[in-house]
Amino acid sequence: MTVEVAASVHPSEPAVPIARRIVAEGLGTAFLLMAVVGSGVMAERLSGGNLALALLANTIATGAALVVLISIFGPISGAHFNPAVTLFFALRREIQPATATFYVIVQIAAAIAGVAIAHAMFGMALAEVSTKLRDGPAQALSEFVATFGLLVTIAGSVRFSPALTPALVGLYITAAYWFTASTSFANPAVTIARSLTNSFAGIAPSSAPAFIGAQIAAALAGYLMLGWLFEGRATPSTSTHSTSL
Of 21 and 97, the one with the shorter C-beta distance to a copy of itself is 21
Give the Cα separation of 151 and 3 in Å (integer): 34
Q: How many angstroms separate the Cα of 6 from the Cα of each of 44, 77, 95?
A: 43, 11, 12
Q: Which among 184, 34, 30 is positioned nearest to 107, based on CA atoms?
A: 30
> CB of residue 135 vs a copy of itself: minimum separation in angstroms?
11
Least separation in angstroms between CB 45 and a copy of itself: 8
Comparing CB distances to a copy of itself, the nearer of 36 and 97 is 36
Alpha-carbon torsion, ordered 173, 175, 181, 185, to 10 deg: 0
Question: What is the closest distance, in whole angstroms, from the C-beta atom of residue 107 to a copy of itself in the complex?
Answer: 17
The Cα 76–Cα 208 span in angstroms is 30
Shortest gap between Cβ of 233 and a copy of itself (angstroms)? 12
- Of 113, 70, 119, residue with least CA distance to 239: 70
CB closer to a copy of itself, 83 vs 222: 222
Nearer to a copy of itself, 20 or 205 (CB): 20
Q: What is the dihedral of CA 172, 201, 187, 17, to 10 degrees?
A: 90
Q: Is 153 or 195 the residue whose CB approaches a copy of itself more closely?
A: 153
Rounded to a whole number of angstroms, the minimum distance from the CB of residue 97 to a copy of itself is: 25
**CB of residue 51 to a copy of itself, shortest distance in Å:** 4
Q: What phi, psi does 46 have (nearest 5°)?
A: -95, -20
In whole angstroms, what is the distance from residue 9 CA to residue 126 CA?
36
CA distance 214 to 148: 10
Nearer to a copy of itself, 101 or 161 (CB): 161
